[in-house]
Amino acid sequence: MSLPPLVEPAEGLTVDEVRRYSRHLIIPDVAMDGQKRLKNAKVLAVGAGGLGSPTLMYLAAAGVGTLGIVEFDTVDESNLQRQIIHGQSDVGRSKAESARDSVLNINPLVNVVLHETRLDTSNVMEIFSQYDLIVDGTDNFATRYLVNDAAVLLGKPYVWGSIYRFDGQASVFWAEHGPCYRCLYPEPPPPGMVPSCAEGGVLGVLCASIASIQTTEAIKVLTGIGDPLVGRLMVYDALEMTYRSIKVRKDPECPLCGKNPSITELIDYEAFCGVVSEEAQLAASGSTILASELKTWLDAGEPIELIDVREPAEWEIVRIPGARLIPKAELPAHLAELPQDRRVVVYCKSGVRSADALATLKGAGFTSAVHVQGGVTAWATQVDKTLPVY
């Protein structure tokens, strides 16, 4: 559906701005009026990572007057495969500062505002209130629900995107005109069921595909042109090179934007989404060891069965010597093969999946089983620093 422009136009464009945005100005649907609206717009990018990188770069190039960046992380070498706003010389730098420098190099006419903080319930309302539109580039469910709820409570539209391996999704959530994120996903998935990009991987260029959709939608909403993805979910499969548009209806019983909302203020999103399931937390309590403890056991020849519960592709990158690969999803089918006369030790990349695997083992009677805190990442950073970290 066609919607009115979100922002009023600026008073005018300078000669330099006319020169810079000339290819927009000769598009009848954008023209001077649309470009002046972009100049007057204030857009906040939540994250300067895989999705935030192309989004910020294209919003800057398009002439959005004020760009806010919420980012607390630093640039890591593993980011460079997809987070194109950063370069090799930025490794170790603040992502927010690196993104700001790239944005200003693209378009020095843009006003860049940095929010170098972790977005949470204590600051989200104050930060969001400064902007017309939010673009969500986060990669975890707790922050996604936080962004959604804050946007709905403030009456702000936001453009959402999600990526995983070769698949991407995008939509525009604006409770005033259509559904919110909770209408599409009323409940978060169980902890550990949906791997993050850090655990499952992502095709670098997929970020550009989804972020370009997000940027397009942001421009459409700001200027009032076209038919934005309000009430529609765009699903992209890079391997099949297909796009599907799925209608998403507003849920009249939505606890946030429905007829009788029960959520009228921000909640505890970590508790709502759960970082680790209750079963995993219970299993890991008193049954967690450090990478250094595992090293001591291995050096002493302790009788243990070391199980790696990651995926085969991760196993090929790096592993702990002496381990056996049994992916977490396949562990129940292999329980009968595990020895009863020695302690079973499980690990993954960071400790989340291994905690779930530990719950499975405990439930099957392996009461002495333990898991490694920090997983193979802790082993590579604390025990054998010659190994790669991914």
- Residues marked active site are found at 197, 348
| Cβ-proximal residues to 332 (8 Å cutoff; 6+ apart), any chain | 360, 364
Count helices and strands (H / E) in the chain: 16, 13
Strand 232-237 to 242-247 pairing: antiparallel
**Distance set, CA 166 to CA 201, 202, 236 (Å):** 9, 6, 8
| Cβ-proximal residues to 153 (8 Å cutoff; 6+ apart), any chain | 125, 264, 265, 266
Q: Enter the DSSP assignment of 8.
A: P
What's the farthest any 2 CA atoms get from each other in the chain?
80
Tell me how crowded residue 216 is: count the other CB atoms within 10 A of its CB. 17
Between CA 100 and CA 109 the distance in angstroms is 12
Amino acid at position 233, single letter? L
Between CA 146 and CA 134 the distance in angstroms is 12
Report DSSP letters for 62-119, one per residue.
HT-SEEEEE---B--GGGGGT-TT--GGGTTSBHHHHHHHHHHHH-TTSEEEEE-S--
Between CA 223 and CA 6 the distance in angstroms is 6
What are 11's two structure tokens?
């008073």
Nearest partner of 47 among 136, 151, 180, 175, judged by Cα = 136
